[in-house]
């Protein structure tokens, strides 16, 4: 049974302080007639299941794509998520919003796939021992090298794509999808401190990557 | 603000940073940052990166034929008799 989660927060375009979870964006119509469609899908109505797919496909596909960064894999994972949904939909009891439940189901599908491919989530805990360049005392650079308030979107995209899978996972779950550290720790079976630490390291890696590839043109 | 927090060196402050950020408190008010330009720049960069990343990933449509593949698999799964 997926962990109960508070109602997903709408995407807020205004800047948020670090550590504040942000976005789990609902599909366009996440209430009202959805309940009827859901009930019919749970009763085995194929047409209703197809409607559920249409309502949620963008969100689930986008989630998979963010987590793995590969279109073909994201398609396979989206397919697997909806197949799992079809197998399990009758077990949905409404303890959380359906979209939240489906979101967690899709995350679990992605995690299972990453484990099969050899991403050891145990290694997240092993990584608590910081690498030499990450030990306290490391210089983060002079202030005049900071990002000056702008980030090259392509460079950031590349930098996220280049993150090690474990870092990327936690970064996407926290900073993009808006999950809290306790939720991420439960999903990844690691400690809350580990989740915080990995996220921090992921952000530092991104910062390093962006400083190596400073914005080239068109400062906003 | 307590004196020990103010007297943290950069390494000690940065070692605490994941917890400080994860706590949801306003890290920018931390005493160390009042006097440390380096760590203020670090925090500002991390905030910029997090904010930029949130806006980086638009919702995208899966390919049109994905539903056909899913539907086909559902049908083949349903065609297999339940072992129970």
Enumerate residues 6+ apart whose C-beta is below 8 A from A43. none
Where does the pLDDT of residue A214 fall: very low under 50, low under 70, confident under 90, or very high at 90 and above? low
Contact A196, A21 (CB under 8 A): no
Contact B32, B14 (CB under 8 A): no
% of chain A with per-residue pLDDT over 70: 67
Over range A142-159, report the average pLDDT: 69
pLDDT digit of tens for each residue in chain B (84 aa)? 455 666 678 888 888 888 888 777 788 888 999 889 889 988 888 888 888 888 888 889 999 999 999 999 999 988 876 665
Q: Do B26 and A17 touch (CB under 8 A)?
A: yes
- Greater pLDDT, A2 or B5: B5
pLDDT of residue A146: 56
Range in A37-41, A58-62, A162-166, A168-172 the model is least confident about = A162-166
pLDDT of residue A127: 44
Q: Do B66 and A57 touch (CB under 8 A)?
A: yes
Domain ranges of chain A: 33-116, 122-212
Give CA–CA dist A61/A25, Å, rounded: 13
B80 shares contact with chain A (CB less than 8 Å) = no
pLDDT of residue A59: 93
pLDDT of residue A51: 96
Q: Do B27 and A78 touch (CB under 8 A)?
A: no
pLDDT of residue A213: 59
pLDDT of residue B46: 87
Chain A partners within 8 Å of B54 (Cβ)? 11, 16, 22-23, 175-176
Q: Do A136 and B19 touch (CB under 8 A)?
A: no
Give CA–CA dist B42/B37, Å, rounded: 9
Query: What is the CATH number assigned to the segment(s) A33-116?
Result: 1.10.1740.10
pLDDT of residue A21: 41
Give CA–CA dist A68/A53, Å, rounded: 21
Q: Using the predicted structure, report yes or no on whether residue A171 has a pLDDT greater than 60.
A: yes
pLDDT of residue A152: 82
Over range A77-96, report the average pLDDT: 95
Pick one of 1.10.3720.10, 3.40.640.10, 1.10.357.10, 1.10.10.10 as the CATH number of A122-212.
1.10.10.10
Contact A191, B37 (CB under 8 A): no
Whether the complex's predicted ipTM surpasses the cut of 0.90: no
Handedness of CA A161, A163, A168, A172 (dihedral sign): negative
B68 shares contact with chain A (CB less than 8 Å) = no
Enumerate residues 6+ apart whose C-beta is below 8 A from A60. A78, A81, A82, A102, A103, A106
pTM of the model: 0.71
Chain A from 76 to 135: CB within 8 A of any B CB: 78-79, 82-83, 86-87
CA distance B84 to chain A (A): 15
What does the block give as tokens for A24? 């789990």
Chain B from 1 to 60: CB within 8 A of any A CB: 10-12, 14-15, 17-19, 21-28, 37-60
Give CA–CA dist A39/A9, Å, rounded: 24
Q: Do A151 and B47 touch (CB under 8 A)?
A: no
pLDDT of residue A132: 37
Q: Do A78 and B66 touch (CB under 8 A)?
A: yes
Kindly report, residue by residue over A100-138, the tens digit of the pLDDT: 899 999 999 999 998 888 765 545 544 444 443 443 334
């Amino acid at each position: 049974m997926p962990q109960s989660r508070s109602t997903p927060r709408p995407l807020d375009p205004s800047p948020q302080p670090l550590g504040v979870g942000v976005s789990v964006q609902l599909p366009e119509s996440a209430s009202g007639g959805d309940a009827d469609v859901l009930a019919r899908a749970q009763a085995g109505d194929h047409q209703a299941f197809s409607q559920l797919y249409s309502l949620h496909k963008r969100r689930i596909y986008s989630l998979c794509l963010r987590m793995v960064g590969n279109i073909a894999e994201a398609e396979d994972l989206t397919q697997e998520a909806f197949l799992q949904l079809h197998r399990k939909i009758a077990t949905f009891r409404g303890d959380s919003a359906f979209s939240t439940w489906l979101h967690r189901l899709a995350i679990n599908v992605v995690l299972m796939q990453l484990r099969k491919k050899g991403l050891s989530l145990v290694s997240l805990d092993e990584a608590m021992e910081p690498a030499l360049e990450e030990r306290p005392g490391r210089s983060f650079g002079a202030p005049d090298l900071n990002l000056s308030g702008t980030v090259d979107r392509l460079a950031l995209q590349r930098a996220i794509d280049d993150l090690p899978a474990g870092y990327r996972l936690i970064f996407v779950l926290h900073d993009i999808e808006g999950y809290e550290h306790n939720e991420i720790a439960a999903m990844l079976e690691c400690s809350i401190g580990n989740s915080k630490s990995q996220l921090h390291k992921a952000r530092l890696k991104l910062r390093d990557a962006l400083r190596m590839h400073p914005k080239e043109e068109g400062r906003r | 603000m307590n004196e020990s927090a103010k007297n943290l060196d950069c390494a000690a402050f940065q070692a605490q940073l994941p917890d400080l950020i994860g706590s949801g408190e306003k890290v920018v008010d931390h005493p160390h940052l009042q006097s440390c330009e380096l760590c203020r720049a670090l925090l500002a960069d991390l905030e910029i990166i997090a904010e930029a990343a949130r806006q980086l990933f638009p919702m995208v449509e899966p390919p049109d034929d994905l539903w056909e593949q899913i539907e086909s698999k559902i049908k083949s799964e349903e065609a297999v008799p339940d072992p129970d």
